Amino acid sequence: MRRNRIAVLVATATATAIALGATAVPAIAVSAITVPSSHTSVRTSAPHAGKAAALQKAIDGLPDSAATAAQVRYKDMDKGLRWSGASGESDVRTHTPVKGDERFRAGSITKTFTAAVALQLVHEKKLDLDGTVQHYLPGLLPAHYPDVKVGQLLNYTSGLPGGDTRGTPKTPDWDKGRYTTWDHRALVQAGFGKPMEFTPGTQQHYSNIGYNVLGLLIEKVTGRTYEQELRDRVINRAGLKDTYSPGTSFGIKGRHTHGYEALKNADGTTRLVDTTEWDQSETWASGDLITTTADLDRFVSALFAGRVVPQQELKLMFTVPRVPQYENGKPAVYGSGLARFQLTKDGPVYWGKTGSRYGYLNGFAATQDGKESLIYSVNSTDAKGEDASPDSRVGRIIAAGVGTPSA
């Protein structure tokens, strides 16, 4: 497969992309994925058959028009329950059943891993939460931008504008740059022709930009690549076996689920486009990770137990700043690398992270003590458009695992 490489020159503002021809992507008619029954494997422990049945029902019936596969893990240590299940096909062309240990693109779950690396460096005093991007990386930000602190990058309150590195979902240029390799510094600077969104520290806006800047900071203060630091500080420390950063490779190593995007044809029919191969440099430290549900389970357990980030800095992951959200004025929900959510008014508080790439919709949630957790990966055919509404596949998985949101 041919790949376009961009070493982008930034003149304070925008990255210049070199548009070359890309190889056509194979398409599959949606009708081709319809099969009479799903492939499901389940592991559970008695006497919690009700929870297991609900989780299995949530992933049953795949593939269908909305998703081709799902992998889920759930545990409740207080109740002695562990469950894992898989449904659907890892490849709809070969009808290969999903076993539950396939790799997938984690998307923005990568941010939790990046935050863990950065917070270790804070503990080691190689980074200072009150230190500025301008101090560590002079010349990276436009001269007229105000000081942006490391802590503000971590909790999404930096106000930095992000660049538009890809097309909008469902538009003709939706796969623009699929085989484009972005220079990391150029990726960060791609949106700097825009003004700051708000004064740093005054609002919260979830986006990729802050975590890609953190990737550059990690490299600057350690003298090593982001990928090396992530491997040694998080992946190896947590004992993860199938997790890695792909770098400039656009494929996925080993056994993995294929991702698909459903697109409308001119005659009104729908086709699936295989999105598995994709250069992830457009997300880098904010979204390029490849992993498995088993590895995410290990990671969440190790992280929440304080075995990845020292306890003093771990508290920052569970600390949400008292500022409004940029989009809607509601209270902020993100700490450093984790989001706080409560499904019912008096129910338990969960901490977690979601992530999506075309063809992959994933997430994890756990109580702060780590005793209860839910991990899922769904190969949604509209991963950039599907939400977690109760009638969606992800919504049903969340409801079966940790409860249905109240009105």
List, in order, residues 6 or more apart from 395 with CB less than 8 Å away: 387, 388, 389
342 contacts: CB under 8 Å, gap ≥ 6: 348, 349, 350
Give SS3 for 41: strand
Query: What integer pLDDT is reported at residue 172 of this predicted model?
Result: 85
- Residue whose pair of structure tokens reads 């600057």 in the numeric block: 220
Domains observed in the chain: 25-402 (3.40.710.10)
Q: What is the CA radius of gyration of the chain?
A: 21
pLDDT at 49: 79
Q: What is the mean pLDDT of each run of 10 residues along the chain (407 residues)?
A: 37 28 48 46 57 95 96 95 97 97 98 98 98 98 98 98 85 88 96 97 98 98 98 98 95 98 92 96 97 98 98 98 97 98 89 97 97 98 82 92 68
What single string gives the DSSP state of each residue in 73-97? EEEEGGGTEEEEEEEEEEETTTTEE
Q: Measure Cα distances from 299 to 219, 237, 377 in Å.
A: 22, 9, 15
User: In the structure encoding, which two tokens stand for residue 262, read together?
Assistant: 């459903």
What is the pLDDT, as a whole number, of residue 48?
65
CA distances from 10 to 142, 180, 360, 391 (A): 11, 16, 31, 44
Backbone angles phi, psi at 195, to 5 degrees: -75, 165
pLDDT at 19: 27
pLDDT at 338 (0 to 100):
98
pLDDT at 168: 80
pTM: 0.90
> Quick one: pLDDT at residue 233?
98
In a 3-state reduction of DSSP, which class is residue 331? strand
* Measured distance CA(247)–CA(164) in Å, rounded: 20
DSSP type of residue 122: H
Q: What is the pLDDT of residue 165?
A: 81
